[in-house]
Amino acid sequence: MKYKITHITRYEYQLPASLCHNLVYQVPVSQSFQQVEKVDYHINPEPHFLLTREDFFNNKFIYFSIEEFHRNLSVEIKSEIKVDEPVWINAIPGNTMPWESVVSWLRSTNADNNIRQFYLESDHVVFIPGIQEYALMSFTPGRPVMEAMLDLNARIFNDFDFTPGFTDVTTKLEEVFLHRKGVCQDFAHFALACLRSIGLAARYVSGYIETLPPPGKPKLFGSDASHAWIALYIPETGWTEFDATNNLLVNDRHIRTAIGRDFADVVPLKGIVYSGAGQRMFVNVDVSRLEETV
Amino acid sequence: MIETYLRQSQNTGKTFFDELAAPGGVVREHWKKLALAYDELGIEKMEQRSREISQELRDNGVTYNIYSDPEGINRPWKLDPVPMVFSQQEWESIERGLTQRAELLNLVLSDIYGERKLIKEGFIPFEMVFTHKGFLRQADKIKIPGKFQLIQYSADLVRSPLGKMWVLHDRTDAPSGAGYTLENRAAMTRVFPDLIRENQVRKISSYYQALKNTLTKLALQNKENPRVVLLSPGTANETYFEHAYLASSLGFTLAFGQDLTVSDGFVWLKTLRGLEKVDVIVRRVDDIFCDPLEFRGDSHLGVVGLMEAVRQKKVTIINPLGCRILENPGLMAFLPRLSKHLLNEELILPSVATWWCGHEKEKKYVLDNLPFLIIRSIYRSNENLPYIGSELSRKQIDDLRNEINTRPYLYVAQEVVSFSTTPSLTGSNLEACNAIFRSYLVADVEKQQYNVMPGGLSRSFPTKGEFIISNQSGGISKDTWVLGPSPESQAKPVLNQPILRQVKNVLPSRTGESLFWLGRYLDRAIINVRMMRIVLKIYNERDDEIHPESNQTLVILLKSLSALTGTLPGFTSPDQIKLRQPESELLSLAVETGRPGTLAQSLQSFLANGHAVRDRLSLDTWRILDSISEEFELMKANGSDLRKIYHNLDQFIIKLMAFIGLNNDNMTRASSWRLLNIGRFIESAINTCTILLAALSNNVKPDVEKQLMELVLMCNESLITYRYLYRSTLQLPGVLNLLLVNEDNPKSVAFLIAKIDEHLNHLPGNKRDDGLSPAHKKLLEALTMIRLCDVNKLVGAARVNDLHKKELTHFLQHLITLLGQASTIIFESYFSPTQSQYSFVKSNNALPEL
């Protein structure tokens, strides 16, 4: 599948800001099952200093600074990306390794530290009381790892309400678990905490998902948003992606922008601004399918 | 004295190793000379010397701060007259051990941020690094050119009961104390010059030379004339004293985060001249506070974009960001093996026995022995204080056990060590106290080896066996003496020292701002004190009760005091309650610190600004600041006694004038001095106008006016001048002439304005092609107004019903407005108006609506 993605973030400051420095994690890179064919970015006002870099997890990010008075800031990223059906779609969940074997393989030094680092706690993924018990209800003794994961995915989907506005970046995982409410980010963190608490390696994926308009209605530009899900390491299929928000095994409708231990590693746009007052933010995301030319 | 000490050390029955007393009650060889000298001095003279040391340190303004304690600012630094002593022979082995450890840690550091082979090959457990908050992924693969990544290193050493030195902590992020060590040595040299000579105590200056040399050499860009700044978290930091002290003794610029900015990928110092490029930053700000963009978004101590400037190789930070990983105590358990693997050597200095709980076997041992161990988080912070197993309740033990089981890799356990005792002068006794010694190493990039300071900072503690120590828990510092002749290479004078070009003297804008305010608060405090003295004098002469009608002089003075201090309505309140009972308001105006305008608040702001620029002030000036600070404490203690406060006021005048005198005498006529004076003169000019307005623009009875004129002249220190110039009775036109117009009188407003104008001309960036700058215009307008005025006309013939002299009132009001505007313009053109720093995580609520 081929997509055209437009992600616009606009900031309005109440008073002019004299200086800002920013990091942008919205630049998709080619990887397994995803080829970036085109990516353009446009920042207004024109940054004084800008460069793109690769981080510890091989994500691409943009660093830029604006060193003159400005009242607005907009960051617009446009990309065209071809997404292929991932290998795990053809895996038979019941035939994958028992999850305990994956855990003991991870504990051995045979496993790459680049994989093992994802079974450790991180800022947003904490082993809160009860989390292991929740996980173990899906990860029953000897159960094939992928089958158990699909079960966990479905349970999170059923047990938790998608409630925008209930949480924000500072909400603790305990709150999400207690009230069983949140958004995709929270569900991803919760799933990661479940998996890591029993010793599995799992990482946070940020990106976009293609949405379809309600039946009979045209799709509105900008009605999409950024999205988050997780990838679990399964030795047979590698990093295998699951979307608890939609109870999906990720196929070719998810487009990846960055991976990390959790949200903190891949904040789409963060910055420090020097200004006399607060600011307002507007975000527009559009994911549209392009006709594939043969 | 020594005899008693030896006897006591025999009788404790404990297994402490004593630094002075060998088993059998004899003095150890390297202590013999000292012991003899102490006996000759006797305890009384020792106490006397101890007081001299305290005085010396106080005179030098050596202080430290305690964070959580509001009264904990500027605590006097304490130094034991008895040093920690190492024999030549033992020091050689300690020095070898420290060098080896620094080299080993340097290799480990290079690997952790490089290939991470040691982790892959299992020499360092991966969880121990990857879960440590000091492992900064943002710093991965960044290298300083050359072999040294760990530039500064400190180890805390203690002596085990068997006499061997052990490493208790490694300090690799931003080790502190080298400045205090230098002060300690200076004080000891002043008080015990003979002992230092006779014992051949090694000099520690080579360390500071190597430090300065290395920091200068590490510049990546501007190699001929690099600018080095010392980045301090600010005046409230525990060890701020030594930040200012080290910066000024090493010739670096002291900077706070707000003094620096990143632009075009470079780091710049904001100075009065504009931006100046920074090449090397030696930081005393903790790693994750250094750049709010990439680390803690809520940090106001750092510089936004700093990490990127490092990545771009535009600036070098010492120690590099990421070094804190080496403070991980878990590493200690793996160092012996690492030493063999990397250096092919046995580890010379052992660490305190350490078990990292991330391995099953060690975890089991720790859990089985919790009550006998000390449990630490692998990441040291104020929230993660160590647990002392023996002091935990059963419930706490259970909680800790659960926590260790959940996150075993985050914990280490260490053996409880009882470390050696050393004589310490406590009260009138030589007592055995536990001691810990901090060493200092710096990579000497020229000689390609670590330079070990032959000495360091020792601390002793009254409670024996106490394991967790810091200055905050009430220890006392000790100088550290390494005995014996210097090694050959160090004895030779250093030849071929490259002649360093004088670094252009720059004034950070923030420092300039502090100097400006220092000047303003200085003169505000002075006029406050003078006015208050006069008010109190008249107040004390009153009859019992104050009748506003009959005590007109006092009433006008009280109202003037409210006007001058800006504490309106105060005594001007129509209800006259405070006027009739002025005592509590007067007390408040003297000692209430939280109230803007009071003397206490002015003094406090004066001292705070002085503190912030202490690297710019001479040693004697610090001493005066400290003595003003002491007087301030005395005044606060006299809180409710106006008579005693009157006495404090006299003292303040003398001390504040001494401050002015000394600065006039020894501050170079650079921008810093000019800003201080601009601040002073603006304040002074406005205050003179305010007093004239409040006290002399009313139409009152002639005798009252006469008395007021006399008092106003006294307040302005101009009464004698008046009598000398006019030799007549006091008349208002004469008074106005002297205080406003007469440009020969250094107290007159016209003189002050002319001076401000002159200073302003010498500040950078004041030359313009298009005529006068806005500040000059305001000053010229004010000056011309005064020069053109006719004082007789200003006073005018009073009309019968006028309460005020209208023309004079308008004239003074206009003058005050112009001066205020000039001040604002000067302030805004040199110091950027404060803008808040906002951290934003954008798009955080941009979540899908599916």
A224/chain B closest Cα distance in angstroms:
6
Any B CB within 8 A of A184 CB: yes
Name the residue among A21, A116, A127 with its Cβ closest to that of B305: A21
Mutate to test the interface with A, among B127, B129, B270, B844 (most CBs of A within 10 A): B844
Helix (H, G, I), strand (E, B) or coil at A142: coil
What is the average pLDDT value for chain B, to the nearest integer? 89
Distance CA B136, CA B289 (A): 12
Mutate to test the interface with B, among A56, A255, A272, A273 (most CBs of B within 10 A): A272
Distance CA B356, CA B369 (A): 14
Which of the residue ranges B491-500, B502-511, B545-554 would you say has the lowest mean pLDDT?
B491-500
Helices marked H in B348-432: 360-368, 394-406
Q: Averaging pLDDT over each range in A139-148, A270-279, B211-220, B695-704, which range is the top one?
A: A139-148
B127 contacts A267? CB cut-off 8 A: no
Q: Among candidates B686, B713, B705, which has minimal Cα distance to B813?
A: B686
Any A CB within 8 A of B668 CB: no
- Give me the residue label for tokens 């700000």: B285
Any B CB within 8 A of A283 CB: yes
Any A CB within 8 A of B842 CB: yes
Q: Output the pLDDT for position B496.
A: 43
Give me Rg for the CA atoms of chain B.
32
Q: Give me the count of residues in chain B.
A: 850
DSSP A37-93: EEEEEEEESPPSEEEEEE-TTS-EEEEEEE-S-EEEEEEEEEEEEEEPPPGGGGS-G
Q: Output the pLDDT for position A93.
A: 96
Share of chain A above pLDDT 70, in %: 97
Confidence of residue B351 (pLDDT cuts 50, 70, 90): very high
Q: Among candidates B704, B768, B697, which has minimal Cα distance to B553?
A: B704
Q: Which residues of B touch A13 (CB under 8 A)?
A: none
Any A CB within 8 A of B140 CB: yes
Q: Among candidates B695, B684, B682, which has minimal Cα distance to B656?
A: B684
- Tokens representing A80 are 């065209």
Query: Regarding beta strands B26-27 and A34-44, do their DSSP bridges make them parallel or antiparallel, or are they unpaired?
Result: unpaired
Q: Output the pLDDT for position B849.
A: 30
Any A CB within 8 A of B300 CB: no
Name the residue among B138, B406, B841 with its Cβ closest to that of A127: B406
B841/chain A closest Cα distance in angstroms:
4
Q: Output the pLDDT for position B14.
A: 63
A281 sits in which H/E element: strand A279-290
Confidence of residue A274 (pLDDT cuts 50, 70, 90): confident
Nearest CA in chain B to A247: B850
B368/chain A closest Cα distance in angstroms:
24
Q: Among candidates A165, A170, A150, which has minimal Cα distance to A240?
A: A150
Name the residue among B305, B407, B835 with its Cβ closest to that of A18: B835
Q: Output the pLDDT for position B474.
A: 59
A–B interface: beta-carbon pairs under 8 A: 135
Structure-model confidence comparison of residues B490 and B120, the more confident one: B120
Q: What 8-state DSSP symbol labels residue B771?
A: S
**B738 and B717 Cβ atoms separated by less than 8 Å:** no
Q: Output the pLDDT for position B502.
A: 45
pLDDT at residue B414 is higher than 60: yes
Q: Output the pLDDT for position B413.
A: 96
Mean pLDDT of A103-125: 90
Helix, strand counts (H, E) of chain B: 29, 24
Name the residue among B305, B842, B848 with its Cβ closest to that of A184: B848
pLDDT at residue B533 is higher than 50: yes
pLDDT at residue B834 is higher than 60: no
Digit-coded pLDDT (tens) for B747-794:
999 999 999 999 999 888 766 677 788 889 999 999 999 999 999 888
| Longest alpha-carbon distance in chain A | 61
Distance CA B274, CA B231 (A): 19
Q: Output the pLDDT for position B547.
A: 78
CA separation, residue B546 to residues A158, B589, B640, B788 (Å) = 82, 19, 20, 41
Please report the ipTM that was assigned to this predicted complex.
Answer: 0.94
Confidence of residue B238 (pLDDT cuts 50, 70, 90): confident
Any B CB within 8 A of A227 CB: yes
Q: Which residues of B touch A113 (CB under 8 A)?
A: 116, 119-120, 126, 130
Sequence-ordered list of residues with C-beta below 8 angstroms from that of B71, at least 6 positions apart, any chain: none
Helices marked H in A62-200: 99-107, 113-116, 131-136, 145-159, 173-179, 184-197
Distance CA B301, CA B240 (A): 13
Any A CB within 8 A of B311 CB: yes
Mutate to test the interface with B, among A6, A14, A15, A21 (most CBs of B within 10 A): A21
Name the residue among B304, B841, B848 with its Cβ closest to that of A21: B304
ω into A45 cis (within 30 of 0): yes
Digit-coded pLDDT (tens) for B376-386:
999 988 788 88
DSSP bridge partners of A254: A209
Confidence of residue B462 (pLDDT cuts 50, 70, 90): confident
- Tokens representing B486 are 């210097």
Cβ under 8 Å to A: B residues 270-299: 292-294, 297
Q: Among candidates B781, B789, B826, B783, which has minimal Cα distance to B807?
A: B789
- Tokens representing A243 are 């979307």
**Backbone torsions φ then ψ of A246, nearest 5 degrees:** -115, 10
A120 contacts B131? CB cut-off 8 A: yes
Which of the residue ranges B131-135, B176-180, B199-203, B506-510 would you say has the lowest mean pLDDT?
B506-510
Burial degree of B342 (CB within 10 A; 0-12, 13-18, 19+): middle
Confidence of residue B464 (pLDDT cuts 50, 70, 90): low
**B180 and B239 Cβ atoms separated by less than 8 Å:** yes
Distance CA B699, CA B708 (A): 12
Nearest CA in chain B to A63: B308
Mean pLDDT of A221-226: 74
Which of the residue ranges A123-137, B34-48, B419-433, B823-837 would you say has the lowest mean pLDDT?
B823-837
Q: Output the pLDDT for position B619.
A: 82
B844 contacts A267? CB cut-off 8 A: yes
Mean pLDDT of A233-252: 95
A162 contacts B311? CB cut-off 8 A: no
A19 contacts B293? CB cut-off 8 A: no
Task: Give the other-Cβ count within 10 Å of B381's Cβ.
Answer: 10
Give the Cα-Cα-Cα angle B193, B666, B78 (nearest 5 degrees).
40
B311 contacts A53? CB cut-off 8 A: yes
Sequence-ordered list of residues with C-beta below 8 angstroms from that of B103, at least 6 positions apart, any chain: B343, B450
Digit-coded pLDDT (tens) for B113-161:
999 999 999 999 999 999 999 999 999 999 999 999 999 999 999 998 8
pTM, full prediction: 0.86
Any A CB within 8 A of B799 CB: no
Confidence of residue B509 (pLDDT cuts 50, 70, 90): confident
Q: Which residues of B touch A55 (CB under 8 A)?
A: 137-138
Q: Output the pLDDT for position B202.
A: 96
A9 sits in which H/E element: strand A2-27
pLDDT at residue B472 is higher than 60: no
Q: Output the pLDDT for position B850.
A: 32
- Tokens representing A32 are 């397994």
**B86 and B204 Cβ atoms separated by less than 8 Å:** no
A274 contacts B844? CB cut-off 8 A: no
Any A CB within 8 A of B114 CB: no
Which of the residue ranges B279-288, B468-477, B508-517 would you say has the lowest mean pLDDT?
B468-477
Confidence of residue B473 (pLDDT cuts 50, 70, 90): low
Task: Give the other-Cβ count within 10 Å of B734's Cβ.
Answer: 18
B138 contacts A56? CB cut-off 8 A: yes
Q: Output the pLDDT for position B71.
A: 61
Any B CB within 8 A of A76 CB: no
Distance CA B537, CA B547 (A): 17
Name the residue among B838, B841, B848 with its Cβ closest to that of A267: B841
Name the residue among A67, A121, A209 with its Cβ closest to that of B848: A209
A178/chain B closest Cα distance in angstroms:
21
B641: left (phi over 0), alpha (psi -120 to 50) or beta: beta
Mean pLDDT of B295-306: 92
Q: Which residues of A touch B847 (CB under 8 A)?
A: 164, 183-185, 225-228
Give the Cα-Cα-Cα angle B13, B16, B19 (nearest 5 degrees).
125
Any B CB within 8 A of A187 CB: no
Give me the sign of the Cα torsion angle B799, B800, B806, B809: positive
A202 sits in which H/E element: strand A202-209
- Tokens representing B575 are 């209800």
A57/chain B closest Cα distance in angstroms:
9
B849 contacts A225? CB cut-off 8 A: yes
Q: Output the pLDDT for position B843.
A: 34
Helix (H, G, I), strand (E, B) or coil at B460: strand
Distance CA A187, CA B87 (A): 64
Q: Output the pLDDT for position B74.
A: 75
pLDDT at residue B205 is higher than 50: yes
Digit-coded pLDDT (tens) for B682-702:
999 999 999 999 999 988 888
Structure-model confidence comparison of residues B547 and B390, the more confident one: B390
Q: What 8-state DSSP symbol labels residue B74?
A: T
CA separation, residue B412 to residues A120, B322, B740 (Å) = 17, 21, 73
